[in-house]
Amino acid sequence: MWAVVAGMAGMATHAECVRQGTVVRTGQLHPLVRKGEFVHVYTGECDFPVERGAVVMVLSQSPFPQLRVARALPGDTLTVESRGGIRVLLVNGTELRNSAGKPYRFSRLSAEVMSEHLAPYGGRLPDGAYLLLGDRPDYTLDASTLTPVLRKDIRGVMMDPVYKAPPAADAGTATP
């Protein structure tokens, strides 16, 4: 089911947003959002905000868009430290933790790749770039092994609460 929403609360926009219902297909957002739960994502030609902690829909190499959490924003400083043999990510000097308060942990390779991509920018995310991760803290394989994600590749933001199953009116919703 698709619904057109003229603007959104708290947003300065004249364009329309489209509310797309979708079922979460992977466990990458667990415990924040679980596989099989139903969410609404606002997409379209509107200026939806991408704030720290927002669940966003992003283009990926899979045939379907992926849901990820915006963990670092343009201008944030990212560093990886080894603490007791475990590599953790610091954003602006603070250890990054998931929605359950557990620190993200990275493999040596993931840490090296992320550091290489940020080196030209002095360890800071450049303008228009975001660090998007799943919510699983152990050796996450999302953007940490790739480049930061550009704003133009973020196609929507989750704005509504999570439902355990699609509401009856949305039973025919396509799932990305």
pLDDT, tens digit, for every residue of 37-89? 888 888 877 777 789 988 888 877 777 778 888 999 999 998 888 888 888 88
- The residue-averaged pLDDT of 5-12 equals 36
Name the residue with higher pLDDT: 146 or 94: 94
pLDDT at 77: 93
Quickly count helices (H) and strands (E) in the chain.
Answer: 1, 12
Name the residue with higher pLDDT: 142 or 45: 45
Topology of domain 72-153, per CATH?
Answer: ATP12-like (3.30.2180)
> Which residue do the tokens 């610091």 mark?
90
Q: Residues for the chain: how many in total?
A: 176
Inform me whether the pLDDT recorded for 125 exceeds 60.
yes
Domain with CATH 3.30.2180 in the chain: 72-153
Best-predicted range by mean pLDDT (10-19, 26-35, 92-101): 92-101
Band (143; pLDDT cuts 50, 70, 90): very low
> Which residue do the tokens 């799943």 mark?
134
Inform me whether the pLDDT recorded for 92 exceeds 90.
yes
Q: Give all strands (DSSP E) within the chain, no chain letters.
A: 2-6, 16-23, 38-43, 55-58, 66-72, 78-83, 86-91, 94-95, 105-106, 129-133, 149-150, 154-158
Task: Name the pTM for this structure.
Answer: 0.77
